[in-house]
Structures are given as C-alpha cells and as structure tokens.
Amino acid sequence: MNLSDLNGRAEEIVRRYESRKAAMLPLLWLVQENLGHVSQEAEAWVGRLLGVARSHVHEAVTFYHMFHTGPVGRRELRVCTSLPCRLRGSGDVLARIEEKLKIRSGETTPDREVTLTEVECLCACEMSPMAQLDETFVGPLDSQTIDVVLQAALDEPEGSAPLPEPDVFISTTGPVLSSHFGNPEGTFFERYVADGGYHAARRVLTSMSPEQVIQEVSRANLRGLGGAGFPTGKKWSFVPKTTTKPKYLVVNADEGEPGTFKDRYILERDPHALLEGMIIAAYAIGSHKAYVYIRGEYFRPARRLQRAIDEAYGQGWLGKNIQGTGFDLDALIHRGAGAYICGEETALLTSIEGGKGFPKLKPPFPAVSGLFACPTIVNNVETLACVPFILRNGAERFAALGTAKQGGTRLFCVSGHVTRPGVYEASVSVTLRGLIEDACGGVRDGRKLKAVIPGGISAKILTADEIDVAMDFDSLLGAGTMAGSGGVIVMDETACMVDALESASRFFAHESCGQCSPCREGTGWVHRIVRRIVEGQGNLRDLDDLLGIARDMEGKTICVFADAAAWPVLSYITKFRGEFEEYIRAGRKSAGRNVTACPA
C-alpha cells in the first residue's frame, strides 16, 4: 500500500467539502489508517491535494496529537490520566502497565507490538480508571482487567476474547434523553420510529414555519448543554434572514471536558434522536448542510452515528426532498484528532476548515460569519437531542420539567468517589446533594464528602457544605460556579486538593492551543508552579502568585479557555488554602500519579 493507491479515495473525500483545505483532517486520517503514520512524503501528498503549503499540513499533524509522524506499535494503548481517572487510581494503573510491558509511557515495546501513551480525558469517566486500546474503551481497570487488556493487545484484534463492558449506572427511563439508553448495541431506525421517532420532524417540515420552530424552542427554555447555557432558540434567531450565503448547522460532538461523557451515550445508543434534532434545527435556521464534528477518540460513536446517518438517507430522512417536503439536508461526519480546544465552537469551525484548532476572533460572530465565512450555528449533541421531545410534546411540557429559566432535564455525568458512577437523567432542578446521595448512592465506601466539581474540570469547586444547590445554570452561577457540561466529579476525604490542582493544571497546559499569549504562557506557568509544589519545592508565596497569575489570565484572551484554566486555580486555593499551605510547609511530595494522598 502506498500513497498513490489512495488517490481515488482522497479525491472522493475532497469533493465532499465546500473548500479543498477542509479535507485536511479526513485525508490525514486516511493516510494514518492505511499507512500507519503520516510521513513527510504523505504531508507533501496531502498538501498537493489541498493546494496548501507543506508547512501548514505539518502544522496540523503536530497540533492534533492523535497523528504520528513516525511508525508506532501495532497496537496503541492510551491510558487516561485526567482527574476523574486519577481519583480512582489511574496512577497505579499506568505504573502497573509500564511494569508489565517494561516500557515507560510515550515508548513502544521493543518488538513494536504496543505503544503506550498517557492521554488527557477520554470522556469515559464512569468506568474510571480506564484506557483505550486502539478503538476500544476498557475499564474500570484493576490488576486483573489490566492483564486481560494486555493479553488482548498482543493478540490479533479479531481473534481475542471480547473485553469486558463496564457495569455502570445508565439512566434508561427518560423522559427526554435516556429512554433508548437501554440498548447497548444502539437504537436502529425501526425501533426509533416505532417509539415515536421522526414524528416531530415530520410535524415541523410539513406544518410549521422556521419562525414557529424557533419560538417553540425558545418557549421551552432550552439552554445550550455543551456548557455555556446560552438560550438555544435565541441563538438560532441570530442567523440573518436575508443572505445569499449558505447556512451551516454544525454539531459539537467534540466532547472533551473531563468528567463528561453524556454525548457519547447519545451518539452510541440513540443517534437518531440527534439526527431528528439536527433536521429540525437545520430547518429552523435554513441550513441544508450539517457537519457533525466528533472527537477523534470516539471511534465507535462515530461508526454508530454513521450507521444511523446511512439509515436516515436510506429512509428518506436525509438528502434531497426529505419525505417529499421539499426540504434538503445533507449530513457529514468530520472526525477530530485529539485536541480538546476543538470543542470551543469557533476552534471547531477552524478545525473543519482544515486549520489547527484555533478559536476565531469575535466579531464577527459565527451566526453571521462562521464556517467558510458563512452564517453558522453550532449546537451541542445533547442540546439537539432535546429538540424532538420539545416539538413532539410541546414547549410547555419541556419547560415544566425544569426551572423557570431553564427547561427540561439533562444527562448528569457522575464520576469520582461515588458508589455508582454513571450517566443520570434528571430534571435540571435536581440538587447536587440529591444527585450524589440519592441517585448515585452517596460517597463510596461510606467515606466523607470533601469536594465536588459540578460542571466539568473548568467549573469552580464546591465544598461538602455547598452542595444544596440546584443543578441548573442560574443556580450554580449564583453559587459562584457553573453547570457547564454537567460533569460531576466527586471527591472524598482521601482526595488531595494539591494533586487535584496538579491534574487540572496539567490538563489545561496540555490542551491550550497556544494562539494567544496569556493562555499559552499562563497555563504552562501555572502547571510548572503546581508541579514544583507537588515535588516538595513549593514556597508559600507561590499561592498568591498562582492567584495573581490566574486572575491575570481572565478576560484577556480570544476564547474562554484561559478563564476556564484560571477557575480551578482560584477556587481550589481559595477554598482549601489551609491544605495548600500545610502541604507546602511540610514539604510534602505527591505520593504518585494518583490523587489519593491526602494530608490528615
């Protein structure tokens, strides 16, 4: 197999996009999947096909960390070391794997069988500590399952025994999002339709105007569930009504916020809910082309969604003249390649366009000038998955499920030191205490709660006596934190806040795109100070320096990544100051790569 064998498929891929350069990521995947890595020759080949200088192809290859510039092992084992996994012993897991394979992370076994990599959150925190063997998520890992996984790594993929599926809690009773989550193999078209699926889309396409759809969604108080909580109907209304440019609907399936895994369940178990939501949204904004940007590590979710898309095309729910209504809509999956920042909506657009995941300057705003400089709406997977319910059952019913200003339910992802980690559908008015103690069975092993991160790693931390707060956007904002992505990370008394901050700051330092100075330098600086502290070399004045640096990072950057990076620094140190000071005074060192050593 060499590059020229791929010419035909490459041309076919390029044809799917409005701009040649947008085929950058799919072509790099084509190369790596067929030839094992992206060589210099391949970079030149891609550059020629896209009409782009080699330097810019190389930029993409080095920016997206799933691409390899040289040969790697036959199998790749990616061990997740973000906070939720660290809380459940990923440090020990990695140490054991390194011991068994006799290599350090970042290396390949001498027989070139296995490459071992440490990665940031794979968004499977409900099965932490976990890893990814090529395309498969494996977890929770303990000494036994590690051996099974390593054996599977050395076997041929087709011949090995199936890896154990984790036994985590998964909501299945709805009412909005989870009713099909009971199907581990996913929900096929027939079942989806039999349960009332595509009813709402039919109603919309045959009897409603786009304006009416926007009003319905607005009245439902649906808020953006990717993390920002912006009113969805209002966002849709920003698209200019009079423009000759094509309009794009872009689905943000680049789930990456540590502690979050809800979109994965929708993609794997109920993809038609997303598709139906997409059809309704596209109709509302006048779009005829939808891109779904799925993070590169989500191999199975992408396959499941593609299967659903193929079904939808086959059944006349995508393509030209949908169900004879005259409405056209094409949908295309675009896979990322390992960069959390591509979850920022404008970075996501730049990534589709074939560049590094650099957020765009605002103004102009995406609704006016987004993908390919055309009006674009970016919505999260979960947000769109709520839309069919709204249009089938009415805005009032959805609104009534929530609070006065935020309607509906959402999928809460609970991980860390709880008895039952998993994905829980609940009204947005549920309290954090209710979620942890009632739904999740409380803190594990009867331990005491110490702290909770209510909305993904970016969210400011809450102490154990601050959990009587409702989980809607406004309540959590009022409590000085945020609902964010709904990723709830629970920490008990064994958790060390200094280690937790080291984990959080390392995540942000790894994932900063590097475009603007306060974030690029600030995230690296913060992490280096915290690492020095956990290595026992901290000074007391480091704490005020950290607070000052974090405050300086806020409000000055192209996107809010720097603010998000600042929030853990500000909240952990402020709320657990004593613990940090004790740690430094005692010259304490981190016990390992876990977040478990805690001063008494």
Chain positions contacting other proteins, by CB under 8 A: 40, 43, 52-56, 58-59, 62-63, 339, 341, 356, 361, 363, 509-518, 520-525, 528-529, 532, 545, 548-549, 552-553, 555-558
527 residue type, one letter: H
Q: Rank residues 283 and 507 by Cβ distance to other proteins and give the closer one.
A: 507
Q: Rank residues 422 and 538 by Cβ distance to other proteins and give the closer one.
A: 538
CB of 38 to other proteins, least distance (A): 13
Q: Rank residues 169 and 525 by Cβ distance to other proteins and give the closer one.
A: 525
User: Burial level of 292, CB count in 10 A (0-12/13-18/19+)?
Assistant: buried
CA atoms within 13 A on the CB side of 565: 34
CB of 412 to other proteins, least distance (A): 30
The CA-to-CA distance between both ends of the chain, in Å, stands at 60
Q: Rank residues 58 and 300 by Cβ distance to other proteins and give the closer one.
A: 58
Q: Rank residues 15 and 541 by Cβ distance to other proteins and give the closer one.
A: 541
Q: Rank residues 23 and 50 by Cβ distance to other proteins and give the closer one.
A: 50
CB of 511 to other proteins, least distance (A): 7
CB of 398 to other proteins, least distance (A): 32
Paired residues of 410 in beta bridges: 426
Contact (CB, 8 A) for 20 and 51: yes
CB of 520 to other proteins, least distance (A): 5
**For residue 35, which phi and psi values (nearest 5 degrees)?**
-115, 0
Q: Rank residues 95 and 228 by Cβ distance to other proteins and give the closer one.
A: 228
CB of 561 to other proteins, least distance (A): 11
CB of 80 to other proteins, least distance (A): 19
Q: Rank residues 289 and 356 by Cβ distance to other proteins and give the closer one.
A: 356
Assigned token pair, 266: 């929708």
CB of 304 to other proteins, least distance (A): 29
Q: Rank residues 58 and 420 by Cβ distance to other proteins and give the closer one.
A: 58
CB of 51 to other proteins, least distance (A): 11
CA–CA distance, 172 with 315 (Å, rounded to integer): 26
CB of 506 to other proteins, least distance (A): 11
Q: Rank residues 52 and 201 by Cβ distance to other proteins and give the closer one.
A: 52
Contact (CB, 8 A) for 63 and 356: yes
Q: Rank residues 356 and 392 by Cβ distance to other proteins and give the closer one.
A: 356
CB of 277 to other proteins, least distance (A): 32
CA–CA distance, 488 with 459 (Å, rounded to integer): 10
The enclosing H or E element of 71 equals: none
Paired residues of 451 in beta bridges: 463, 491
CB of 8 to other proteins, least distance (A): 27
Assigned token pair, 172: 């299945």
Torsion sign, CA atoms 437, 440, 443, 449? negative
User: Burial level of 124, CB count in 10 A (0-12/13-18/19+)?
Assistant: buried
CB of 600 to other proteins, least distance (A): 30
CB of 56 to other proteins, least distance (A): 6
Distance of CA 186 to the CA centre of its chain: 20
Which stretches does DSSP call E strand in 33-160?
75-80, 114-119, 131-133, 136-138
DSSP string, 290-348: EEEEE-TT-HHHHHHHHHHHHHHHHTTSSBSSGGGSS--BEEEEEE--S-GGGGSHHHH
Contact (CB, 8 A) for 435 and 424: yes
Q: Rank residues 289 and 360 by Cβ distance to other proteins and give the closer one.
A: 360
Q: Rank residues 61 and 489 by Cβ distance to other proteins and give the closer one.
A: 61
DSSP class of 516: S
CA atoms within 13 A on the CB side of 83: 36
- Stated length of the chain: 600
Neighbours of 362 (CB within 10 A): 12
Give the residue from 500, 513, 511, 501 showing the smallest Cα distance to 596: 500
Q: Rank residues 481 and 557 by Cβ distance to other proteins and give the closer one.
A: 557
**For residue 80, which phi and psi values (nearest 5 degrees)?**
-80, 130
CA–CA distance, 36 with 221 (Å, rounded to integer): 47
Q: Rank residues 41 and 190 by Cβ distance to other proteins and give the closer one.
A: 41
CB of 501 to other proteins, least distance (A): 16
Contact (CB, 8 A) for 448 and 426: no
Contact (CB, 8 A) for 584 and 540: yes
DSSP class of 170: E
CA–CA distance, 506 with 523 (Å, rounded to integer): 8
Neighbours of 415 (CB within 10 A): 29
555 dihedral zone (left: phi>0; alpha: psi -120 to 50; beta): left
